Amino acid sequence: MIDLIVLGFQKFLSFGLAFVVLLGLLIFVHELGHFLVAKFYGVRVEVFSLGFGKKIWRYKPGDTEYCLSLIPLGGYVKMYGDDPSADIPEEQKQYSFLHKPVFQRIAVVLAGPLMNLFFAALIFGVIALLGEKTVSNHVGDVPALSAAYEAGFRSGDIIQAVDGNAYKAWDEIEEYIEARAGKQISFSVQNTSGDLTSRSITVSPVEMRNTNLMSTRDYVGQIDGLSPVAISTQIGISDPNSLAGQAGLKSGDAITALDGTNLRSWFEAERVFAKSVAEKLKNSPSGQNAVSVDFELTNLQSKDSMVHTLELPAAIAQKIAQSDFDANTLQWIGLHNTELFIEEVVEGSAAQSAGLIAWDRLISVNAEPLNSWESFVKAVRSYDSDQAPLKVEVARAGQNMFFDLVPQITEQTNSAGFTEKNFAIGVKTALRMAEPVTVIVKANGIKEVLSASVNDTVEWVQLTALSFLKLLKREVSAKSIGGPIMILQLSGKTFEMGLSPYLKIMAIISINLFILNLLPIPVLDGGHLVFFSIEALRGAPLSIRKMEIAQQIGLVLLLSLMLLALFNDFSRIFSS
């Protein structure tokens, strides 16, 4: 109990420190922009504060009081003469903000958001120097009969080049494919199992509707079945009398090594298993003997490790040794990946009422065999309330059993954050994905650093602006808006991941502040820019009364946005 308390306190400190540093730096940079340009134009700055509310530390070496305030969710620069109702003596007007030429005032206001933009560019440059971990050019699972499989790709391949261009990161490969729908692409691919030979594959991406909400393209090129995603080595056993079941292996454990070879994904486990059996059979005196294989497993909850030795009869060993390259050899000893296993049955659901239980393995729906969890979800969602109950076949305790289920309409949140109604039976998959193969991508030389800095900044400005636009067009739900608690969670999680991920989220939030502050809402910098732009065009400022009304409206809008963000933050916490 004490260990849990200490661990919780350490996590609170690390998350809190990451949050304070991130937000403090971004606020400081923003206010520093206002401060420096104001000083440049001779405006007297009275207060430079990080935070709002009661001042807990202050220092005043000259005209400006520097202070830290109690609430660390913002900051401000108080300039002399920024109140239009104040009476400014004639001799002091040279230091007054509102008595400066309008274009100087615009520069002072614009400097804050621009500093957030430049700071983000600087961070992206630092990340390029440090290097960023990203998904590599290793292919994940390639389903049989998919376009990628038909073209010649196999699970675990390494894409060495695309149309002669060498790429280390998967996102570069994906971007290249997306931009070339209907055009032939030549891939140079290396086989990772066997002799490591290279081969050429030519395939044309098919134009598909883009499901990525944060993309500017409506349609992109895709090669069905080609991705870096692979199923993990977590196991499911539906027959306790199988070789695996009799050896003591349990559903939910993960194979971490096989005969001393460390494993990452299920297809690796299949290949290592078949290769190990074939080699042992070949080296046996008669070639007809039983074969033993050591499975090292980890309980994913307790993290305990154990080794189980499976004795394979000669007949099964020979069958495995003679199998095809991509054969599902582990199922011959009773082991399956967890994609079609049920991990949890929801209380009060149709599945519970029908009699389904955890670790049932789904076989078919209405006599149609299932080959993926996606195929099962599709079968359930396509149910018509006028039709007969679904006949769901599952494997349990070595037997195939049939259940009649009537799916129920349930509310679910889609990728855009909106609630939609679909048929469901109330089960959750046990599927776990393997950690992808990663690579550290670094910039070589100042030219690449500058290029990465500019490109990443432009990309994230576009993505952030697009997200604001989609919110306004209601293509993305307002539930996706996050506040200080989301920033706390993001900063803490990325801080634990390493310096580059932490710096990246800092740069992204800085760009968000850049765009947010430019929104034409009174009380924000964008609102002030609107006022001063109108003044520049008409040659006179708006009346104090009109600006006060606009400020009050802006304050209500801003407070509403903050309340919505906080509401979303707490909703996410309680829903999870």
Q: What is the mean pLDDT of the chain?
A: 89
Same domain, residue pair 332 and 346:
no
Average the pLDDT over 407-420 and give the result.
78
414 pLDDT more than 80: no
pLDDT at 1: 53
**Does residue 44 lie within any of the structural domains?**
yes
Separation CA 69–CA 501 (nearest Å): 29
In this structure, of 44-58, 82-96, 149-163, 404-418, the range with the lowest mean pLDDT score is: 404-418
83 pLDDT more than 80: yes
**Does residue 451 lie within any of the structural domains?**
no
Which residue, of 222, 243, 261, is where some domain finishes? 222
In this structure, of 130-134, 311-315, 507-511, 529-533, the range with the lowest mean pLDDT score is: 311-315
For 258, 287, 400, 433, 563, the CA distances from 252, given in Å and listed in that order, are: 17, 34, 20, 13, 42
Same domain, residue pair 359 and 397:
yes
384 pLDDT more than 90: no
Which residue, of 386, 406, 429, is where some domain finishes? 429
Kindly tell me the burial class for residue 319, based on how many C-beta atoms sit within 10 Å of its own C-beta (0-12, 13-18, 19 or more): middle
> Which one-letter amino acid corresponds to residue 417?
G
User: What confidence tier does 475 reach under pLDDT thresholds 50, 70, 90?
Assistant: confident
542 pLDDT more than 90: no
**Does residue 353 lie within any of the structural domains?**
yes
Say how far residue 366 (Cα) sits from the centre of its chain. Answer: 36
- Reading the block at residue 250, the tokens are 């349990």
Average the pLDDT over 14-31 and give the result.
90
For residue 249, give the nearest of 237, 263, 233, 231 by alpha carbon: 237
459 has catalytic annotation: no
Same domain, residue pair 398 and 517:
no
Asked if 522 and 553 count as a contact pair (C-beta separation under 8 A), the reply is yes
Taking every pair of Cα atoms in the chain, the longest distance, rounded to a whole number of angstroms, is 108
**Does residue 245 lie within any of the structural domains?**
yes
User: What confidence tier does 462 reach under pLDDT thresholds 50, 70, 90?
Assistant: very high
Same domain, residue pair 255 and 333:
yes
**Does residue 440 lie within any of the structural domains?**
no
Same domain, residue pair 307 and 360:
no
The pLDDT tens digits of the residues spanning 207-217 come to: 998 887 777 78
Average the pLDDT over 217-234 and give the result.
93
User: What confidence tier does 5 reach under pLDDT thresholds 50, 70, 90?
Assistant: low
- Reading the block at residue 129, the tokens are 């120097």
The pLDDT tens digits of the residues spanning 152-211 come to: 999 999 999 999 999 999 999 999 999 999 999 999 999 876 666 788 999 999 999 888
Task: Give the chain's domain count.
Answer: 4
Same domain, residue pair 262 and 356:
no
Separation CA 64–CA 69 (nearest Å): 15
Neighbours of 516 (CB within 10 A): 19
Average the pLDDT over 68-93 and give the result.
88
Which residue, of 407, 429, 451, is where some domain finishes? 429
Kindly tell me the burial class for residue 544, based on how many C-beta atoms sit within 10 Å of its own C-beta (0-12, 13-18, 19 or more): exposed
Active-site option among 31, 268, 270, 393: 31
- Reading the block at residue 140, the tokens are 């994940």
Same domain, residue pair 125 and 15:
yes
The full DSSP string for 228-273 is S--B-SBEE-S-TTSHHHHTT--TT-EEEEETTEE--SHHHHHHHH
Question: Who has greater pLDDT, 113 or 484?
Answer: 113
> How many helices and strands in the chain, by DSSP H and E?
14, 23
Same domain, residue pair 163 and 190:
yes
Same domain, residue pair 153 and 122:
no
- Percentage of residues of the chain with pLDDT beyond 90: 61
Asked if 189 and 201 count as a contact pair (C-beta separation under 8 A), the reply is yes
In this structure, what are the phi and psi dihedrals at residue 231, rounded to the nearest 5 degrees?
-75, 140
Q: What sign for the dihedral angle of Cα 194, 197, 198, 200?
A: negative
For residue 238, give the nearest of 404, 88, 361, 61 by alpha carbon: 361
Domain that holds residue 310: 235-337
The pLDDT tens digits of the residues spanning 268-290 come to: 999 999 889 888 888 777 656 78
For residue 414, give the nearest of 462, 357, 476 by alpha carbon: 476
pLDDT at 448: 93
- Reading the block at residue 538, the tokens are 């008409």
Same domain, residue pair 347 and 333:
no
Asked if 363 and 370 count as a contact pair (C-beta separation under 8 A), the reply is yes
- Percentage of residues of the chain with pLDDT beyond 70: 95
Same domain, residue pair 247 and 190:
no
Same domain, residue pair 314 and 383:
no
In this structure, of 104-108, 396-400, 416-420, 554-558, the range with the lowest mean pLDDT score is: 416-420
Q: What CATH number is associated with residue 401?
A: 2.30.42.10
35 pLDDT more than 80: yes
